[in-house]
């Protein structure tokens, strides 16, 4: 199993450009989330999904869109990039199978380092 | 008050020492708790879940204190390779969201 795969690993955008960060998981996990990590602020939830076709906003959703057309894929779209979106983005997935003693913590992808200039 | 709070550290300890971190949470109805480890410029990785009765995995012991609303992580016989940032994670009851603390940095010194 590859786990959670994120692409690209690095990206530089100009202010106003749009782009899509890709995320795919091959573990048949129900839940997927996008986090951003900034120095001193920890991981903040952008959007999450509890299954194909179902998404919801997290703590910092403005400027981002998501969709979940399949169980495997959960892309994050930046609509019009701003310097404040310079960050490290992590996609993660988890399952509730095996609750309450199963391993139901999130598995993370390796991240996308995004710089907006 | 933040939903999840951790002492940022750094905790500098010699090899072989025992070190403990605490993490406090504000939602008394929280039901799931975890400790993650994050190395510099890497993704967070699940270290262990935290069960109500406490649990141990090798040199690592996790405890939950619901009355005082905190979880703890104890590392015995610290190794150089334990140097990392340790993230506390809480899942508030009734939500699908996992809330991360900002992390506690540990440096194990030779």
Distance from CA of B43 to the nearest CA of A (A): 5
Burial class (CB in 10 A: 0-12, 13-18, 19+), B68: exposed
What is the per-residue pLDDT for A5? 97
Burial A41-63 (b: 16+ CB within 10 A, else e): ebbbbbbbbeebeebeebebbee
Window B:49-108, CB contacts with A under 8 Å = 49, 51, 87, 89, 96-103
Q: State whether B32 and A104 contact (CB < 8 Å).
A: yes
In chain A, residues with a C-beta closer than 8 Å to the C-beta of B103 are 42
Which chain A residue has the Cα nearest residue B9?
A: A40
Asked if the C-beta of A5 comes within 8 angstroms of chain B's C-beta atoms, the answer is no
Q: Do B89 and A105 touch (CB under 8 A)?
A: yes
Task: Give, for all 110 residues of chain B, the pLDDT tens digit.
Answer: 788 999 999 999 999 999 999 999 998 888 889 999 999 999 999 999 998 888 999 999 999 999 999 999 999 999 999 999 999 999 887 778 889 999 999 999 99
The low-confidence residues of chain A, meaning pLDDT below 70, are 1, 98-103
- Taking the C-alpha atoms of residue A35 and residue B99, their distance in angstroms, rounded to an integer, is 10
Query: Looking at residue A52, what is its pLDDT?
Result: 95
* pLDDT the model gives residue A101: 58
């Amino acid at each position: 199993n590859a786990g959670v795969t994120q692409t690209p690993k690095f990206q530089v955008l100009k202010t106003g450009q749009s782009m899509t960060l890709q995320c795919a998981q091959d573990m048949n996990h129900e839940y997927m989330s996008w986090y951003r990590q900034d120095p001193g602020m920890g991981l903040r939830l952008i959007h999450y999904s509890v299954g194909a076709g179902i998404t919801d906003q997290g703590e910092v959703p403005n400027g981002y869109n998501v969709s979940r057309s399949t169980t495997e894929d959960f892309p994050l779209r930046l609509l019009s990039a701003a310097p404040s979106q310079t960050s490290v983005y992590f996609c993660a997935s988890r399952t509730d199978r095996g609750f309450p003693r199963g391993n139901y913590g999130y598995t993370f992808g390796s991240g996308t380092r995004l710089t907006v200039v | 008050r933040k939903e999840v709070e951790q002492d940022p550290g750094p905790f500098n300890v010699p090899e072989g020492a025992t070190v403990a971190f605490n993490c406090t949470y504000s939602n008394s109805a929280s039901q799931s708790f975890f400790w993650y480890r994050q190395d510099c410029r890497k993704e967070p990785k699940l270290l262990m879940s935290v069960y109500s009765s406490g649990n141990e995995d090798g040199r690592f012991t996790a405890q939950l204190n619901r009355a005082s609303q905190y979880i703890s992580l104890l590392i015995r016989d610290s190794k150089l390779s334990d140097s990392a940032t340790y993230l506390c994670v809480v899942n508030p009851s009734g939500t699908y969201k996992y809330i991360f603390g900002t992390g506690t940095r540990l440096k194990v010194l030779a």
